[in-house]
Homo-oligomer: A and B are copies of this chain.
Amino acid sequence: MDSFIEPQVLKGFRDSLPQQEIPKRALMARLETVFESFGFVPIDTPVLEYTEVLLGKGGGETDKQVYRFEDHGGRDVSMRFDLTVPFARFMAAHAGTLALPFKRYHMAKVWRGENTQRGRYREFVQCDFDIVGADTAAIDLEILLMMTCSMDVLVGGNATIRLSHRGVFNRFLDKLGAKAHSVAILRAVDKLAKIGPVEVTKLLEEIVPTQSAQQILTYIAAKGSFLDVLSKLESLAGGEADDTRRLKELYALISELDISSRFVLDPSITRGLDYYTGIVYETFLDDLPGLGSVMSGGRYNNLADLYTREKLPGVGASVGLDRLLAGLEELGLLQSSAGKSHVLVLGGGSVASGAGASQKLAQSLRGLGLNAEVYLNDKKTAQQYKYAEAKGIRYVLQVSSEGIVCKDTTTGDSRSGLGPAEVAAWINQR
């Protein structure tokens, strides 16, 4: 064949090479271990759904980005653009058979035909976790605790969760007489970190009177200890109510669990979406505050109202996997790796060079718990060492007439005449 098809991927899509895929999977596995330790269970949903199920009857900003088409049976179908909407549909379909509160996590790809100029991808992995079934401080606590535990595992706890409460803010807006504009106000306030107070005030003044804009800024700029800020917000919102009582309960609980130092009550955190009704939060790495939030979410009072009469209140968060990966890499907390082999056994390239004996030795080492790779080409020893280097394999082994020779390529140390068990012991002790 003379004319080849160009092996290109679509704009906004990318291959994941082993050196990208291995750390990504390792990160997901570490998160999964934390989720499992709290009793969260995994689910999955179809990538393709009825368009009506995913988009409802409306037509928002997201809709234009959805990959939507007609399937072979003439159905109007779309690829999922997040994991929240499919989860809502899932809960409406299965709530009757699931033990509530239902604690699930879901790590899977989603697709959005976004503008790629801003470095965004059209295919990316989301990782969501939620507890659905009741609206209590005990459930809020578990989500917050699981977030701190995730950060313990990933960055040794060097992360801060900035927390706020949408109910208090709504009450405050109501008192200001600005509740009708809450969506626009939320959108403006959400930009505080990005564009600063002066620009946010300008945006607010386009929505509400100048005096109200000033008060909103006073509200969102409140600073101090958790309880100090809470007291300011409570008075701005018109006194104590269920929402501020919830924050007080939560503060008592996170204090009891010795994690209160990991939280800042920050009223500028609103999460742009109209969807939230209770606590909302964002998580920042202490050593990379400019990275943006790596784990965000909040409480909503009705997950699946599009599909069912049943009230399904819940609380959850979403991990920004790509951002988190970039952050961990920048902090040197990610062992970037082209492979996970502990050992390369040389000479496995041909029957003549000892493929059988090499594979046999590797089998013994695998049986002893080591990842033992056999070099499968018939090349010179220098080439074989290069392969070990390229795949980041530390130990190189060779079957010789004097028994097994084992070399540590990082230190240059070597041992000879060892049996497989001794080799494994030598490696494990280093």
Chain A positions within 8 Å of B, measured between CB atoms, are 1, 4-11, 13-18, 21-22, 25, 36-39, 41-50, 52-53, 56-57, 64-65, 67, 69-73, 75, 77, 79, 89-90, 92-94, 97-101, 103-104, 109, 111, 113, 123, 131, 133-134, 136-139, 141-142, 145, 149, 249, 252-253, 256-257, 304-309, 338-341, 344, 348-351, 355-357, 359-360, 362-363, 366, 370-374, 376-378, 387, 390-391, 393
Given contact pairs A7-B93, A136-B378, a sample of 13 additional A-B residue pairs in the complex whose CB atoms are under 8 Å apart: A1-B305, A4-B307, A5-B52, A5-B307, A10-B71, A17-B97, A39-B339, A47-B47, A101-B377, A137-B351, A252-B356, A256-B356, A257-B363
Residue of B nearest to A389 (CB): B99
Q: Which of B14, B21, B75, B387 contacts A10 (CB 8 A)?
A: B75
Distance from A128 Cβ to chain B, minimum over Cβ atoms (Å)? 14
Integer count of this chain's copies in the complex: 2
A308 to B374, CA, bound (A): 28
Distance from A66 Cβ to chain B, minimum over Cβ atoms (Å)? 9
A92 to B134, CA, bound (A): 52
Given A256-B360, A307-B4, also A138-B349 (CB < 8 A): yes
Given A49-B9, A93-B7, also A138-B43 (CB < 8 A): no
Whether B341 and A391, one on each chain, are in contact in the complex, defined by CB atoms closer than 8 angstroms, is no
Given A39-B371, A137-B351, A359-B141, also A90-B46 (CB < 8 A): no
Whether A252 and B351, one on each chain, are in contact in the complex, defined by CB atoms closer than 8 angstroms, is yes
Q: Would you give 26 A-B contacts (Cβ < 8 Å), ordered by A?
A: A4-B306, A5-B52, A6-B53, A7-B89, A9-B49, A10-B77, A14-B46, A16-B44, A21-B42, A21-B44, A22-B41, A36-B341, A37-B372, A38-B362, A38-B374, A46-B123, A99-B387, A100-B377, A133-B377, A136-B349, A136-B350, A138-B351, A138-B374, A139-B376, A253-B356, A257-B359
